[in-house]
C-alpha cells in the first residue's frame, strides 16, 4: 500500500510541476488580454479624436497611419503571445511525448508484423487483400508527409541559433530606443501626438513579444531538437513497419493469384485437350481461352514486378528527399567544414544519373501507353461478347450442303456457348489486373517525377556549394602516414592479377571482340606507317601554285588522323572490353572507364604533334612558323610522357570513388600535373616560340604577355587548392583546363582549314587577274615588238583581304566562346555562390514610398565590371565587324553605314554603361537626375561641341551631302572625304583637307553640286566689238559648243545676246556638262576655240576703251614740243 501511495504521490507532483507553467501562462495571458483590450480601446478612442480634430489633412493622414500601424502591431503581438503559449505548453508536455515515443520505438518490429498478419483472415480473397493494401499505401503517404514536415521543423530548429543572436541583439536595441519617452513637437496637435505615442507603445509590445518568443525558442532549442529527432525516428520506424506490411500483402496477393491462375490454366488446358480432334471452331476457341489464361498469369506476375519497382522508386524518392533535407541542414549548420565537404562529395558520388532516371521515366510512360491501349481493346472484346449468340455465329463456319440452322444451334449449344462464357469470365479477371498495373505505373511515374525533381534540386545545390568546400584535410603528418598505403593501393598486384584472369576468361568465352579489336589496331598501325610518305607527297603539291587544291589539305588531314588514331582507338577498345568483364564499381570496370577518358587527351596531343611535323598540315597548309612548330615538337613529347599517366591515375582514383585513392593518388596526380603543365606553358608561351609574327622580334600583344603569366599561375593555384584539401575542386578545374586545351586545338585546326579555303579562293581570283595582265602584256609586246618580262607568281596568305581576316577572327572568337562555355558549364553554377557575399548596401524607394535595402554582392560587382569591359570591347569592335560582315553586302553607301555604326556604338556605350552601373547599385532612377544635371552643365559649358555633335547626327540621317559630293559652304569648295559626328572633312582644289564643324552645315548656306544629279551648267560670257554681225557671233558660239563632245546635247546649249555694254556687245554661251570635273576643262577648251573662230571670221573681241579729253594743261606742257605730247598721249592711251 505504501509503495502504491508513493507512486501516486510522485505522479501527482509530476503533473503539478508540468501544469505550473501552464497556470502561470493563464494568469499572464489574462493580464495580457486586459492590457491588449485596453490598448485597442485607447487606439479606437484616439481614432475618434483624430476624426473630430481640425488638423491639416497631411497631419490627419499621418495620425491615421500611426493608429493603423499600432492596431496591426497589437494584433501581431497577440499572435506572438499565442505562439509563446503553444511553445511553453509543448515544452511542458515534452517528457510525456518523449516517453510515448520511446515506448513506441521499443516495440518488437517482427512481433508486431506477425500479430498484424494474423489478424488478416487466411482465406481472404484477392479483393480484400487489395483493399488492405490500398489502406496501407494511404498510411504511407501520410507518413511521408509527416516526415517531410518534421524534417523541415528540425532544420529550422538547427539553423535558428545561427541567426537568433543577431536578431535578439537587434530587438533589444530597438526596445531600448522605444523605451525613451517621446516629446511633442512644436505646434503638433494633441491627437497626432497621441497617435504617435500609441504607435510607439504598440511597436514596443510587438517587439517585446518577439523577443520573449525568440528567447524561449533559444532556451528550449536543445529539448525541441531531441523531441523532433525522436519523432523522426518513430515516424521512420512506423514507415518501415507499414512498408513491411505492404511487402507481405503483395507477396500474399501474388501467391494467391498465382495459385488461382495456375489452377485456372490447368482447367483450360484440360478443356482444350478434351476438345482436341473435335470441332475446329471449338478447339480454336478453347485455345484462345487457354492463351488468355496464360496472359492472366503473366499480367499477375508483371503486376508483382511493377509493384516491386514502385516500392524501389518510392524508397529512392524518400532517400533523395532525406538527403536533400540533410544537405540543407548541414550547409546551414556546418558551413564549409571538411566534414561537411566529405559528406557532400559522398552524396555527389552516389547521386543517380539524371539521364538514366529520365530514360526510366520514358519507359514507364511507354508501358502506360501500351496498357491503356490494351485496356481499350479489352473493352472492345467485352462488348463483342455481350451477345453470345452473335459471337458464336460469327465464329462458326457452316459446311456446304448442311442444314445451317441445325448445325449452328448444335455447335453453339454444346460447345461454343460454354467456351465464350468462360472467355467473358477471363476478360472480367483480366480487367482489374490491367487497371492495377496502370495504377501502379501511374504511381511510379509520379514518384519518379518527384525523384527527378529532387535530384535536380540536390544537384544544383551541390554544384553551387561543392567547389567552395574542402573535401579532404590539408597535407600534414597524418597524410604522410597514409601515403604508403595509398600508393600501395594503386599498384596492388591482386587487382591486376584478377583483371588478367577476367580478361583471359572473357577471351576464351567470347574471342571475337578481342580478335576484332586487335585486328583493327593492327590495320591502323599499318596505315600509320604510310602516313609520313603520303603527307610529304601532298605537301609537295602545295608548293606549286597551279596544282595546289583544297582536296590536298583534306587528304593531309585524313592521313594525319590515321596516323594518330591507333593509340586512342586502342584505349577505347580496351576500355570497352574491360568494362565488359568487370562489374560496375569494381577495379576492372573502373580501369576501363579511365582508359576511355584518356583517349581524348592522347588524341589531341598526338594530333598536335603530327600537325607540327615538317611538311605536315601546319607547315605546308596552315603556314605555321618554324619557331611555333619546333616549340610544339619539343614540348609535347615530354609533357605527354608525364601528364597523360598522371591523368590516368587521377581519373582512375575519382572513378573508383574510394576516399584513400582520392586523398593520395588523385591529389599527387593533380599536384605533379599542375607543376609540369605550368612549366611547359611558361616555356611554350615565351617570346619567339608559340606566338610568332614574321618580321617582329618582340611579342606585340599585351594579352599574350599576360597569358604567359596568368596560365602558369592558375595551374599553380590549382595545385595549392589540392594541397589545402580542395581535391575535388582542383580535379574538376584541372579537367576543365585540359578540356579547354582540347577545344583550343580543335578550333585552331578548324579555323586553319577555313583560312586555307579562303586563301585558295583568293589565290584563284589573283591567278585569274594575273593571267589577264599577262595576256594584256603579251598583246602590247606583240604590237610594239618589245620584250616585256612576265610578272612573278607570288601569291601568299597575306593577300587574303581585311574582310576575310576579320571574318576569321569573328569565327574563331565565337567558336572559342561556345567551346569554353560547354567545357566550363559544370563549374559555372558554383560562381552563383558569390551572390551570397554582400559587399555594400544601397537603398531604393519603392512604389509605395517605403525604403528598400538591397545588397550589392560580389557576383553583381563581377558582372558589372564584366559588362563594362564588354561594353568597351563591343563599342570598339562590334560596329566595325557589323559594317564589314553585314552592311558591306547590302547596297548602302558609306555615309549610311557610318551613321548606322555610329548610332550602334553610342547605343552600346549607353546601354552597357546603364546595365553595368545597375549591377553596381546605381539604378537608372538615380542616374537619370545625375545625367540630367550633367547634361545641363555640359550644355552650357560645351555648347558648341554639343551643337556640332547634334548637327553631326542630323547630317548622318538627313544626308544633305554624302562622301564624295562636291559642296560649297562659307566660301570653301571641295569634295567631302569624311563625315563624323563632330566635324566633316573637305578636300579642296589645292589638295588641302579642311575640317568644317557640322554646325556650319545646319546654320549656314550649303551648296551641293552632286547631291541628286552631277550635271551642271557652265556659262561663258563673250563681248564683241560694236559693228560685229550678231547672227554670225551666235552661230560661231553654238558651233564651238557643238564641236566639244563633253558638252551635253540634252539639255542643249543656248546662246543669248544679253546687253549693250559700254564697249562691247555682251553674249552668253550656256552649256551643260555631265561631270563637275569637266567644268574648267570645257571652259578652257571653248575659250580657246572661240578665239580661233572669231579670228577666222574677223570678229573682234571687245576690250574696254577710254577717251580722255584734256581741258587745261600746265604751261610747261604747253611749251613742250608736240611730239613729246603725242608720245605721252600714246602711252596714256595704251595704259588705259
Taking the CA atoms of residue 912, residue 917, residue 921 and residue 922 in that order, the dihedral angle to the nearest 10 degrees is -110
What is the average per-residue pLDDT within 261-272? 83
Average pLDDT over residues 960-979: 79
Q: How far apart are the C-alpha atoms of 893 and 1120, rounded to whole Å?
A: 78
- Distance, CA of 307 to CA of 313 (rounded, Å): 10
The model's confidence at residue 668, banded by pLDDT at 50, 70 and 90, is very high
Q: Tell me the per-residue pLDDT of 134-161, one tens digit each, with 9 for 90 and over.
A: 888 888 888 888 887 887 777 777 766 6
- Which of 300-309, 368-377, 956-965 shows the lowest mean pLDDT across its residues? 956-965
Instruction: Give residue limits of the domains in the chain.
Output: 11-240, 276-396+411-468, 477-787+799-820, 960-1010, 1016-1096, 1106-1136
Is domain 960-1010 in CATH 2.30.30.60, yes or no? yes
Q: Among residues 597, 599, 596, 586, which one has the least CA distance to residue 499?
A: 586
Helix (H, G, I), strand (E, B) or coil at 368: helix
Radius of gyration from C-alpha coordinates of the chain = 50
Residue 169 pLDDT > 60: yes
What are 966's strand-pairing partners?
Answer: 975
Q: What residues are paired with 1057 via a beta bridge? A: 1067
Kind and range of the H or E run holding 1057: strand 1054-1060
Record the cell numbers describing residue 686, joined without a space. Answer: 615565351
CATH number of 1016-1096: 3.30.70.100
**Residue closest to 214 by CA, chosen among 258, 146, 161:** 161
CA distance 927 to 917: 9
Residue 694 has a pLDDT of 53
Give φ, ψ of 965 to 5 degrees: -70, 150
State pLDDT tens for residues 325-337. 878 777 776 566 7
Instruction: Round to whole Å and give the CA distance between 653 and 662.
Output: 5
For residue 933, what pLDDT is reported?
A: 62
| pLDDT band per the 50, 70, 90 thresholds, residue 549 | confident
Higher pLDDT, 716 or 255: 716
Please provide the average confidence, as pLDDT, over all residues in the chain: 78
1053 with 1070: CB under 8 angstroms? Answer: yes
DSSP 211-258: HHHHHHHHHTHHHHHHHHHHHHHHHHHHHHHHHHHHHHHHHHHHHHHH
Q: For cell 508540468, what's the residue?
A: 18
Record the cell numbers describing residue 320, joined without a space.
533523395
Q: What tens digit of pLDDT does each residue of 780-828 get?
A: 555 544 444 444 444 444 444 555 676 677 788 888 888 888 888 777 7
pTM above 0.85, yes or no: no
Region 485-512 average pLDDT: 87
Are the C-beta atoms of 197 and 182 separated by less than 8 Å?
yes
Q: What is the pLDDT of residue 411?
A: 54
C-alpha cell at 414: 454444346
Output the pLDDT for position 1127: 44
Distances 1066 to 18, 1018, 1028, 1033, 1062 between C-alpha atoms, Å: 132, 16, 11, 11, 10
Query: Going by DSSP bridges, is the β-strand pair 966-969/1006-1008 parallel, antiparallel, or unpaired?
Result: antiparallel
Q: How confident is the model at residue 570 (pLDDT cuts 50, 70, 90)?
A: very high
Mean pLDDT in residue range 620-645: 85
**Phi/psi at 976 (5° precision):** -70, 125
Query: What is the signed CA dihedral for 813, 819, 821, 827, rounded to 10 degrees?
Result: -140
H helical segments located in 661-701: 667-684
Is-contact 736 827, C-beta < 8 A?
yes
pLDDT for 466 equals: 78
3-state secondary structure of 396: coil
Residues 6+ apart with CB under 8 A from 1096: none
User: Using CA atoms, how far apart are residues 68 and 64, in angstroms rounded to an integer?
Assistant: 6
Q: DSSP labels for 459-498?
A: HHHHHHHGGGS-SS--SSHHHHHHHHHHHHHHS-HHHHHH
Diameter of the chain measured on Cα atoms = 185
Q: Give the confidence band of 706 by pLDDT, cuts at 50, 70, 90.
A: confident
CA pair distance 917, 899, nearest whole angstrom: 27
Sign of the Cα pseudo-torsion (606, 611, 613, 617, in order): positive
- Is 966 within 8 Å of 1076 (Cβ atoms)? yes
Q: Is the pLDDT of residue 945 over 80?
A: no
Got the DSSP string for 882-926?
Answer: HHHHTGGGSS--HHHHHHHHHHHHHHHHHHHHHHHHHHTT--HHH
Amino acid at each position: 500500500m505504501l509503495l502504491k501511495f508513493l507512486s501516486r504521490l510522485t505522479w501527482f507532483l509530476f503533473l503539478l510541476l508540468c501544469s505550473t507553467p501552464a497556470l502561470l501562462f493563464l494568469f499572464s495571458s489574462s493580464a495580457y488580454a486586459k492590457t491588449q483590450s485596453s490598448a485597442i480601446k485607447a487606439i479606437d478612442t484616439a481614432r475618434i479624436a483624430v476624426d473630430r480634430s481640425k488638423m491639416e489633412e497631411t497631419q490627419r493622414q499621418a495620425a491615421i497611419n500611426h493608429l493603423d500601424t499600432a492596431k496591426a502591431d497589437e494584433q501581431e503581438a497577440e499572435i506572438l503571445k499565442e505562439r509563446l503559449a503553444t511553445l511553453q505548453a509543448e515544452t511542458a508536455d515534452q517528457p510525456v511525448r518523449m516517453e510515448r515515443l520511446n515506448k513506441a520505438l521499443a516495440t518488437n518490429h517482427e512481433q508486431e508484423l506477425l500479430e498484424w498478419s494474423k489478424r488478416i483472415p487466411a482465406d481472404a480473397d484477392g479483393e480484400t487483400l487489395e483493399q488492405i493494401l490500398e489502406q496501407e499505401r494511404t498510411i504511407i503517404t501520410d507518413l511521408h508527409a509527416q516526415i517531410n514536415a518534421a524534417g523541415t521543423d528540425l532544420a529550422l530548429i538547427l539553423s535558428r541559433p545561427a541567426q537568433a543572436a543577431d536578431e535578439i541583439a537587434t530587438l533589444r536595441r530597438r526596445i531600448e530606443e522605444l523605451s525613451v519617452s517621446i516629446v511633442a513637437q512644436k505646434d503638433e496637435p494633441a491627437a497626432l501626438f497621441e497617435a504617435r505615442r500609441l504607435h510607439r507603445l504598440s511597436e514596443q509590445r510587438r517587439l517585446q513579444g518577439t523577443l520573449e518568443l525568440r528567447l524561449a525558442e533559444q532556451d528550449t532549442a536543445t529539448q525541441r531538437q531531441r523531441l523532433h529527432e525522436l519523432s523522426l525516428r518513430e515516424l521512420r520506424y512506423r514507415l518501415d513497419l507499414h512498408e513491411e506490411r505492404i511487402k507481405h500483402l503483395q507477396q500474399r496477393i501474388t501467391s494467391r493469384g498465382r495459385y488461382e491462375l495456375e489452377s485456372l490454366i490447368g482447367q483450360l488446358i484440360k478443356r482444350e485437350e478434351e476438345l482436341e480432334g473435335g470441332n475446329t471452331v471449338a478447339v480454336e476457341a478453347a485455345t484462345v481461352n487457354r492463351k488468355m489464361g496464360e496472359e492472366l498469369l503473366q499480367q499477375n506476375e508483371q503486376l508483382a514486378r511493377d509493384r516491386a519497382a514502385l516500392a524501389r522508386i518510392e524508397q529512392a524518392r524518400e532517400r533523395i528527399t532525406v538527403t536533400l533535407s540533410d544537405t540543407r541542414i548541414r550547409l546551414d549548420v556546418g558551413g564549409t567544414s571538411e566534414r561537411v565537404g566529405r559528406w557532400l562529395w559522398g552524396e555527389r558520388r552516389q547521386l543517380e544519373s539524371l539521364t538514366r532516371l529520365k530514360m526510366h521515366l520514358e519507359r514507364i510512360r511507354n508501358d502506360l501507353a501500351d496498357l491503356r491501349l490494351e485496356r481499350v481493346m479489352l473493352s472492345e472484346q467485352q462488348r463483342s461478347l455481350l451477345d453470345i449468340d452473335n459471337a458464336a455465329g460469327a465464329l462458326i463456319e457452316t459446311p456446304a450442303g448442311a442444314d445451317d440452322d441445325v448445325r449452328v444451334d448444335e455447335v453453339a449449344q454444346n460447345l461454343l456457348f460454354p467456351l465464350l462464357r468462360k472467355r467473358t469470365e477471363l476478360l472480367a479477371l483480366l480487367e482489374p489486373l490491367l487497371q492495377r498495373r496502370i495504377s501502379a505505373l501511374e504511381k511510379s511515374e509520379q514518384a519518379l517525377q518527384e525523384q527527378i525533381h529532387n535530384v535536380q534540386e540536390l544537384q544544383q545545390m551541390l554544384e553551387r556549394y561543392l567547389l567552395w568546400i574542402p573535401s579532404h584535410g590539408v597535407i600534414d603528418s597524418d597524410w604522410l602516414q597514409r601515403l604508403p598505403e595509398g600508393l600501395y593501393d594503386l599498384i596492388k598486384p591482386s587487382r591486376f592479377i584478377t583483371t588478367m584472369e577476367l580478361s583471359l576468361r572473357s577471351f576464351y568465352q567470347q574471342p571475337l571482340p578481342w580478335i576484332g579489336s586487335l585486328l583493327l589496331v593492327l590495320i591502323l598501325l599499318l596505315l600509320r606507317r604510310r602516313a609520313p610518305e603520303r603527307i610529304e607527297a601532298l605537301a609537295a603539291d602545295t608548293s606549286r601554285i597551279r596544282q595546289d587544291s583544297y582536296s590536298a589539305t583534306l587528304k593531309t588531314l585524313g592521313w594525319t588522323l590515321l596516323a594518330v588514331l591507333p593509340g586512342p582507338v586502342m584505349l577505347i577498345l580496351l576500355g570497352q572490353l574491360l568494362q565488359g568483364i568487370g562489374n560496375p564499381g569494381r577495379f576492372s570496370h573502373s580501369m576501363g572507364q579511365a582508359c576511355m577518358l584518356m583517349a581524348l587527351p592522347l588524341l589531341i596531343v598526338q594530333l598536335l604533334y603530327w600537325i607540327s611535323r615538317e611538311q605536315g598540315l601546319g607547315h605546308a597548309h596552315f603556314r605555321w612558323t618554324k619557331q611555333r612548330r619546333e616549340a610544339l615538337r619539343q614540348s609535347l613529347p615530354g609533357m605527354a610522357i608525364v601528364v597523360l599517366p598522371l591523368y590516368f591515375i587521377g581519373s582512375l582514383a575519382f572513378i573508383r570513388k574510394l576516399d584513400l585513392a582520392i586523398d593520395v593518388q588523385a591529389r599527387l596526380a593533380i599536384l605533379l600535373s599542375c607543376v609540369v603543365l605550368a612549366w611547359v606553358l611558361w616555356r611554350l608561351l615565351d617570346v619567339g616560340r608559340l606566338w610568332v609574327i614574321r618580321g617582329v622580334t618582340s611579342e606585340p600583344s599585351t594579352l599574350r604577355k599576360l597569358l604567359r603569366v596568368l596560365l602558369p599561375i592558375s595551374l599553380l593555384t590549382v595545385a595549392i587548392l589540392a594541397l589545402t584539401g580542395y581535391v575535388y575542386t582542383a580535379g574538376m578545374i584541372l579537367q576543365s583546363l585540359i578540356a579547354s586545351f582540347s577545344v583550343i586545338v580543335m578550333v585552331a585546326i578548324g579555323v586553319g582549314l577555313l583560312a586555307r579555303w579562303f586563301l585558295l579562293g583568293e589565290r584563284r581570283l589573283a591567278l585569274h587577274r594575273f593571267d589577264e595582265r599577262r595576256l594584256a602584256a603579251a598583246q602590247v609586246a606583240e604590237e610594239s615588238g618589245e620584250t616585256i618580262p612576265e610578272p612573278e607568281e607570288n601569291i601568299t596568305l597575306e593577300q587574303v583581304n581585311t574582310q576575310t581576316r576579320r571574318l576569321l577572327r569573328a569565327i574563331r572568337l565565337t567558336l572559342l566562346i561556345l567551346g569554353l562555355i560547354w567545357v566550363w558549364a559544370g563549374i559555372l553554377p558554383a560562381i552563383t555562390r558569390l551572390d551570397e557575399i554582400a559587399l555594400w548596401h544601397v537603398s531604393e524607394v519603392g512604389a509605395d514610398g517605403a525604403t528598400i535595402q538591397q545588397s550589392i554582392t560580389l557576383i553583381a560587382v563581377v558582372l558589372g565590371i564584366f559588362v563594362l569591359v564588354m561594353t568597351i570591347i563591343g563599342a570598339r569592335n562590334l560596329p566595325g565587324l557589323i559594317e564589314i560582315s553585314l552592311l558591306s553586302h547590302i547596297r548602302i553607301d558609306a555615309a549610311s553605314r557610318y551613321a548606322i555604326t555610329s548610332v550602334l556604338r553610342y547605343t552600346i556605350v549607353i546601354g552597357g554603361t546603364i546595365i553595368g552601373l545597375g549591377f553596381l547599385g546605381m539604378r537608372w532612377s538615380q542616374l537619370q537626375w545625375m545625367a540630367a544635371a550633367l547634361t545641363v552643365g555640359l550644355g552650357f559649358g560645351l555648347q558648341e561641341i554639343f551643337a556640332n555633335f547634334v548637327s553631326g547626327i542630323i547630317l548622318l540621317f538627313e544626308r544633305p551631302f554624302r562622301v564624295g559630293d562636291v559642296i560649297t559652304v562659307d566660301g570653301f569648295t571641295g569634295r567631302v572625304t569624311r563625315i563624323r559626328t563632330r566635324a566633316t572633312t573637305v578636300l579642296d582644289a589645292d589638295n588641302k583637307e579642311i575640317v568644317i564643324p557640322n554646325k556650319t552645315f545646319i546654320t549656314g548656306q550649303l551648296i551641293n553640286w552632286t547631291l541628286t544629279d552631277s550635271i551642271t551648267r557652265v556659262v561663258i560670257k563673250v563681248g564683241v566689238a560694236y559693228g560685229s554681225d550678231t547672227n554670225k557671233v551666235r552661230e560661231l558660239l553654238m558651233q564651238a559648243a557643238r564641236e566639244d563632245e563633253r558638252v551635253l546635247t540634252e539639255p542643249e546649249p543656248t546662246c543669248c545676246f544679253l546687253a549693250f555694254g559700254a564697249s562691247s556687245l555682251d553674249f552668253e554661251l550656256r552649256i551643260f556638262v555631265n561631270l563637275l570635273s569637266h567644268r574648267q576643262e570645257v571652259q578652257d577648251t571653248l575659250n580657246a576655240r572661240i578665239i580661233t573662230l572669231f579670228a577666222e571670221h574677223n570678229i573682234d573681241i571687245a576690250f574696254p576703251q577710254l577717251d580722255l579729253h584734256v581741258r587745261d594743261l600746265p604751261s610747261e606742257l604747253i611749251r613742250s614740243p608736240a611730239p613729246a605730247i603725242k608720245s605721252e598721249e600714246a602711252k596714256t592711251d595704251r595704259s588705259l
